[in-house]
Structure formats: C-alpha cells, structure tokens
Amino acid sequence: MDKNKILVTGGAGFIGSALIWALNQQGLENILVVDFLDEAEKWKNLVPLRYADYWEADRLLAHLDELNDVATVYHLGACSATTERNCRYLVNNNYDYTKTLAEWALTREARFVYASSAATYGDGAQGMDDTLQNLHSLRPLNMYGYSKHMFDLYAQRRGYLDKIVGLKYFNVFGPNENHKGDMRSLVNKAFDQIQATGKLNLFKSYHPDYQDGEQQRDFLYVKDAIEMTIHLANSRTAHGLFNLGSGKAHTWNELATAIFAALGLPPRIEYIDMPEELKDKYQYFTQANIEKLQSTHYKRPITVLANAVADYIQNYLLPGKYLGDETAA
C-alpha cells in the first residue's frame, strides 16, 4: 500500500487543528485525527476541517499495526497544562506515549515530528539554544516541562534526534484555543476580560530587573507556528530539536497595547498580585533563537505582533469563527 496518510495526534486541539487547517489549504485530506474528546468543546475546532477518520487517543497504540499507510506523524497530543500536578499522568501521557509512537514510526520509516516545549528551558539560565548538546544542563520549572524534557533526553540517548524533529514551541496564540481554559493565551483571556470590564489585569513583577508588565515573552502567531511545523516535516534533512518562535521578545505591556488597539480602545491595564504557587516557577524572559530553523531555508516572514493580534481578534474572536470557517460559503 502506498504510504500517503498523515497522522495528527492532538488533532482537535489548538495547534493540531490549526495544522489540519493548513494541510487542508494544501489540498491534503487523507488525515487520521487522534485526540481525547472529553467534556471540553474542542470538537468545535474539527467542524470546519476535512479529514479521513478520527480515533480516540487510547485506541491508537493498540491498533498501530493497522496503519501501514502512514507517511508522516505529527505528534502534538499531550497534557499541556503547566499547572498539572499529577506526575504519573504526565509521564504516561507525555513521555511513555511519545516513546511508543516514535519507535513505531521509526520502525516503519514514517516521518516523526513531535511537540517538545520551550518549557524545557526553565528560567533560561542555561540559555534557550536548540543546538545544545548537554540537554541535562536544562532545569524545567514544572512537571509539564520536565515530562517533555524526559523524552528529549530519551530521544538523544537512543540516537533518535538524528532522525526525527522535536518542536520547542514558545508562546503560541491564535484561533482555536477557546477550549484551553486557564491555558489560553493572554490575547484570548484579555478579549473576554476587556469585553466584560473594559480593562486588563497583568501580573506584577517580583524580579528587580523587570517593572510591572515588562516581563518578556516570545509570542508566535499560530499561523506562523504551523508554517514552521510543516516546513520542518517536509525538509527531510532537518532533524533534532528546533525552537519555534518569532525570534523577538515582547513585553506583556506591548502585547496588551496591541490587544486594545485591535479592539479600537485606549489601554487600561491594572497590575495584580501573582499567585504564590507561580512565583518560583515564573519565566521572566523567553526569546527563541531561530537560527537553526532558518538554516533549513525557512524564508517566510514572521507576522508582526500587532498584525497577528489584529487578525486574531478581528477575524476570529469578534465574529466567533474557527480556522476553516473563513472558507465557508
């Protein structure tokens, strides 16, 4: 059988559904979507999309031998809650599951692309370098980040990083994240908060080098994240870990200003206390070095932050649309 099927785990989620949207735009529909459709409403992300079949995630590993026609695996499914405290659940879901799927894909010579995380870098004290060979020097700040780090280390020990691609997504935001609850981006949360109160709350800073709202993040629009993801999957000479970010850090204040501008409102920002449980796990600065990505001949311009925020708010949040709805008659 010709190998032409695409397997997308986490396909109903934020980045997974955006990936399927982009594949559909390329005319690709022979896609097996895998996810857990629980009580959250991420099923709405799938409604405008086109795909061949859907499986629940607990079915996949038991039926892998039925999938002889898979050419590419995008393994994006994981528990992505940075506040999740059930370590056993994170190990089973983010580490063991990934090991099994990666080894199956490698045995069948399918292209394997998986979501690692920028959370593996911890507070950034060891840098945020995707060419780093001593991965053991990294110190994730939460168990989610460590569960992702565990597989990166395993893949390096086994020599898999010479054959597969791991994606260290930075702060991705954009359409199809409504179901993520507290893990939604600030843009999504701010949209609801500003609509309700006319103002936006940001955490105070507890670091002497950063004023309130001047903490910095590398914000990446999901449409850019997906372009990068597909590019690396199709670049068969690309392998190892890759930072996926804009390459430029912006402050929360800059992001907030862009949100108010997209809504046509003057900024109204209040700084609030940070929860105690976050204070020793908070990243004050993230910025992706994307030279390794660029070395694979990725040339697409990255969307300017203000333009990305405007597209998200004006074309998706305000009209209540999902990726794919824009193509509906």
Angle 62-68-72 from CA coordinates, rounded to 5°: 95
- Residue of 163, 180, 204, 281 with catalytic role: 180
Catalytic, 248? Answer: no
- Residue of 95, 114, 121, 144 with catalytic role: 144
| Nearest Cα to Cα of residue 259 among 203, 198, 177 | 198
Helices (H), the chain: 14-25, 43-46, 57-60, 87-90, 97-107, 143-157, 186-197, 222-234, 252-262, 276-279, 291-294, 305-312
Residues 6+ apart with CB under 8 A from 183: 80, 81, 82
252: which 2 tokens? Answer: 């929360």
Catalytic, 99? Answer: no
Residues 6+ apart with CB under 8 A from 142: 82, 83, 119, 281
Query: What is the distance of C-alpha 205 from the center of its chain?
Result: 25
Q: How many other C-beta atoms lie within 10 A of the C-beta of residue 301?
A: 6
Active site residues: 144, 180
